[in-house]
């Protein structure tokens, strides 16, 4: 009787084990269910737009939904910390904004490009300094003179303390020898809304993030921060032309928790490359003032590591700058 019960229990255990094995999410070809894409910024900004459009464009190749989820805060550190704790199976990935190379130097999280598997880079975005169209500053020199005349009197919003646009504002203070009061938001959409509402005096944001309001006559672009002029602001001078050689672009890519299987990494990189090559993506980059640039996983890793070294050296100097 007892031996029969033991045989029955053993058989049941084998059946249950087979059943659970058959239900494993790792069985079968990748992907076999929806992917979650974690966005480090609030809805409405450039990171959110890039993530949602690339997710949509990659879905036909992957054959499953790619669902975006926003986790803003701490210059992206909250989102990056969340993603690195997920299983490295490819079903949770993240938007790799430039801040992933910055958060360690900022002290927000002990995470850098070397701690994740980078999938690919898809774009770079130059910064632009904008003010309201009814402001008294008609050009960059006007703005610099006003800021120098009364240090900390001008209020500048940014997309978050330690964000790439905050970093560019700090660079402007250093190179133009001026001081402003900083007001952080969780993303560029909030900082630009504050500017439009008259709560702050100026914003440095992505060229594409501000273009609609500039085109509509609500905002005025005073300077583009990269060395070359932007295709969507052809009449706006660069800071380099004005003898202030500063400005660091934002960039967008995608990453996964460390330890992603090679075949899954290759599959994701290929899907994003196909999305990158679509006319829809090129059109978006043109309209939003982004530079379409694709780096595969290996090249993106090298680029991001170099960026981490750069920010690791520059951020401490800027954060300790006398105000």
Tell me, yes or no, whether 48 and 115 share the same domain. Answer: yes
pLDDT at residue number 93: 98
H or E element in which residue 274 lies: helix 262-276
Last residue of a domain, one of 206, 224, 242: 224
Distance from C-alpha of 280 to C-alpha of 40, rounded to nearest angstrom: 23
Three-class secondary structure of residue 62 per DSSP: helix
Rounded-to-integer distance, Cα 179 and Cα 153, Å: 8
CATH of the domain at 296: 3.40.190.150
Regarding whether 74 and 52 lie in a shared domain, the answer is: yes
* 110 and 133 inside one domain: no
Clarify whether residues 219 and 258 are in a common domain. Answer: no
21 within domain boundaries: no
Predicted TM-score of the model (pTM): 0.81
> Which CATH number covers residue 211?
3.40.190.10
Give per-residue burial for 68-90: e unless 16+ CB within 10 Å, then b. Answer: bebbbbbbbbbbbbbbbebebbb
Count of the separate structural domains present in the chain:
2
Based on the domain organization, do 204 and 169 belong to the same domain? yes
- Per-residue tokens: 315: 């951020």
Whether 67 and 133 share a structural domain:
no
pLDDT at 2: 39
Domain encompassing residue 100: 35-125+250-319
> Among 169, 190, 224, where does a domain finish?
224
List Cβ neighbours of 127 (8 Å cut-off, separation of 6 or more).
164, 165, 168, 204, 205, 206, 207, 224, 225, 226, 247, 248, 249, 250
Distance of CA 305 to the CA centre of its chain: 16
- Does residue 244 sit within a domain? no
Residues 120 and 255 in one domain: yes
Residues with Cβ < 8 Å from 167, sequence gap 6 or more?
A: 102, 248, 311, 314, 315, 318
How confident is the model at residue 288, as a pLDDT?
81
Q: Could you list the pLDDT tens digit for every one of the 323 residues in the chain?
A: 434 443 434 443 433 343 333 343 445 799 999 999 999 988 987 889 999 999 999 999 999 999 999 999 888 999 999 999 999 999 999 999 999 999 999 999 999 999 999 999 999 999 999 999 999 999 999 999 999 999 999 999 998 888 899 999 999 999 999 999 999 998 888 999 999 999 999 999 999 889 999 999 999 999 999 899 988 899 999 999 999 999 999 999 999 999 999 999 999 999 999 999 999 999 989 888 888 999 999 999 999 999 999 999 999 988 887 66
Residue with tokens 């980059």: 285
The domain boundary, picked from 224, 239, 264, lies at 224
pLDDT of residue 240: 96
């Amino acid at each position: 009787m007892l031996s029969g019960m033991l045989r029955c229990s053993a058989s049941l255990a084998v059946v249950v084990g087979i059943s659970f094995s058959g239900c494993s999410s790792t069985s079968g070809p990748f992907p076999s269910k929806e992917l979650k894409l974690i966005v480090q910024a609030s809805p409405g900004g450039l990171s959110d737009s890039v993530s949602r459009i690339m997710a949509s464009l990659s879905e036909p190749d992957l054959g499953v939904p790619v669902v975006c989820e926003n986790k803003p805060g701490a210059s992206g550190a909250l989102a990056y910390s969340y993603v690195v704790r997920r299983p490295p199976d490819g079903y949770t990935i993240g938007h790799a904004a430039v801040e992933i190379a910055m958060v360690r130097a900022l002290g927000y999280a002990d995470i850098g490009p070397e701690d994740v598997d980078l999938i690919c880079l898809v774009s770079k975005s130059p910064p632009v300094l904008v003010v309201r169209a009814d402001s008294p500053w008609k050009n960059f020199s006007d703005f610099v003179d006003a800021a120098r005349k009364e240090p900390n009197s001008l209020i500048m919003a940014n997309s978050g303390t330690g964000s790439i646009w905050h970093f560019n504002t700090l660079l402007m203070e250093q190179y133009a020898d001026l001081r402003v009061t900083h007001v952080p938001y969780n993303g560029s959409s909030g900082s630009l809304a504050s500017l439009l509402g008259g709560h702050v005096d100026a914003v440095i944001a992505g060229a594409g993030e501000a273009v609609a309001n500039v085109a509509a006559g609500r905002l005025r672009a005073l300077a583009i921060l990269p060395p070359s002029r932007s295709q969507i602001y052809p009449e706006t001078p660069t800071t380099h032309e004005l003898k202030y050689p500063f400005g660091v672009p934002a960039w967008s890519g995608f990453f996964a928790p460390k330890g992603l299987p090679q075949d899954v990494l290759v599959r994701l990189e290929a899907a994003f490359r196909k999305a990158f090559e679509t006319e829809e993506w090129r059109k978006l980059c043109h309209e939003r003032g982004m530079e379409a640039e694709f780096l595969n996983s290996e090249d993106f890793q090298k680029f991001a590591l170099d960026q981490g070294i750069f920010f690791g050296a520059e951020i401490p100097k800027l954060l300790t700058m006398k105000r």
